[in-house]
Amino acid sequence: MRSDAVKVGMQQAPHRSLFNALGLTEEEMKKPLVGIVSSYNEIVPGHMNLDKIVEAVKLGVAMGGGTPIVFPAIAVCDGIAMGHVGMKYSLVTRDLIADSTECMAMAHQFDALVMVPNCDKNVPGLLMAAARINVPTIFVSGGPMLAGHVHGQKRSLSSMFEAVGSYAAGTMTEDDVKEFEAKVCPTCGSCSGMYTANSMNCLTEALGMGLPGNGTIPAVYSERIKLAKHAGMQVMELWRKNIRPRDIMTKEAFLNALTVDMALGCSTNSMLHLPAIAHEADVDLNMEIANEMSAKTPNLCHLAPAGPTYMEDLNEAGGVYAVMNELNKKNLLNTELITVTGKTVGENIRPCVNRNPEVIRPIENPYSEIGGIAVLKGNLAPDTGVVKRSAVVPEMMVHEGPARVFDCEEDAIAAIKGGKIVAGDVVVIRYEGPKGGPGMREMLNPTSAIAGMGLGSTVALITDGRFSGASRGASIGHVSPEAAVGGPIALVEEGDRILIDIPNNKLEVLVSDEELAARKAKWQPREPKVTTGYLARYAKMVTSGNRGAILEK
């Protein structure tokens, strides 16, 4: 056992004395030590139930013959952090989570790990850690929130943000907003649409690192507790068979995940996280492959914010495995890959049927023949830009309009809510990238304000920052190179015509090469917005969005 390094032999007598101080018995010390990484806290709604999940995992590990030992991971609620300086501290926690988990696992020589995340950065951060540490590991999340109900319609957090825009437009009263406020988030859990947290939890199933239902069983269902117990038992099977994360997270597994991503219509943040996780697993995942995958992968789901269905509906329809079974009808997945179930992808998905063709479209009748995410390129984004194509209305798939340029999110929000943005405009928010932000803030406030003001089908938004999975519309993020390093987005001027052509994967500013070169010659780097603390260190080390905003080694 790996943990023998801290348990066995005369040299380890001091170590054993410390285990005695923990109250561990000799019987417990003879068993494999299983680290349970708990993301529980009392500020994130998606994490407030994780204490219950962790207790269930501990029971499962003990039933499976291991000794469970809990240690923590941090978590930020993106909804609470949204729209102020706090959002600079969201993406950056992904690396803190990976680093601190690596430190704890290596320092204490755990034999196996159970990761218990739920919200946006914890899932990818712990997947990154799993790939680094490479001991038998399984994931069990806290599960999604149930949808809210307002006036007989299901609603979610994106509805809440859009209600604020509607209030600014004068189409909702303060009492209307208060009703939404009280009802859209009715339970604990990760927010109820196909936002980033639920996207990544679903993709954990697609990667093979979570048991069936991990991405979709609602947080408040007792079935979630059963899942946690089974995860605890199953990690002991992984330990006995020595099945490790890098055995599971192969190049082919990431291609499976990207295929499922396209079918589900996941958050554009998956285009940041999948390459970062792959990087830790020594897999090269160039995001330009996304369009190739999209071209052959039908979009089968329109969950909120793209449509009227929610995670609870996907769960009832058969979950991620039912989506994978639809994809397998056209041989779009590698079904021979091993997973944490101890079985192959094909064995896992074979019994899972699509129980609701309105929630999961049959592959013969997709929402579109191509996938839910598109990677755009052009003179405005020479490396890449990313858009959630499945959440764009048809009339905005091709759009040309004048640039309305803002150097920070706050200025753009003020202009939108002040009625200064009109139909046809292309809002450009720059200096919000990984280095320039720093921290690559999500732009849910401006996209929601645009939608709430009734401009969602006529106004586009482009940024070197990123978008919440709750964003919808022609919202193009991750524009690379970012403004802070002199990317072309830094050279756009007020009134420049911008062309967005999503079907042809193009993003262009309609300015001559000579004019752009002249502007580039005059461009000067901005002074860093943050010069102290973790953000300053992060800004010096972080790479572009097209590389997953990974840190340089």
Active site residues: 468
Residue 225: count of CB within 10 angstroms of its CB: 18
Q: Is 101 exposed, middle or buried (0-12, 13-18, 19+ CB in 10 A)?
A: buried
Residue 68's nearest CA partner among 134, 114, 25 is: 114
- Contact criterion met (CB below 8 Å) for 33 and 62: no
Spatial separation of the C-alpha atoms in residues 52 and 245, rounded to whole Å: 25
Spatial separation of the C-alpha atoms in residues 517 and 514, rounded to whole Å: 5
Task: Report residue 553 as tokens.
Answer: 């080694």
Residue 442 assigned to a binding site: yes
Residue 262: count of CB within 10 angstroms of its CB: 29
Query: Where do we find the tokens 């039933």?
Result: 63
Residue 374's nearest CA partner among 440, 483, 315, 299 is: 299
Residue 323's nearest CA partner among 417, 222, 202, 472 is: 202
The type of residue at 186 is P
Spatial separation of the C-alpha atoms in residues 24 and 37, rounded to whole Å: 19
DSSP letter assigned to residue 144 = B
The type of residue at 532 is T
- Give the SS3 label for residue 6: helix
- Contact criterion met (CB below 8 Å) for 444 and 472: no
Residue 78 assigned to a binding site: yes
The type of residue at 397 is M
Spatial separation of the C-alpha atoms in residues 520 and 492, rounded to whole Å: 10
- Contact criterion met (CB below 8 Å) for 371 and 258: no
- Contact criterion met (CB below 8 Å) for 308 and 301: no
Binding residues for Mg(2+): 78, 120-121, 442
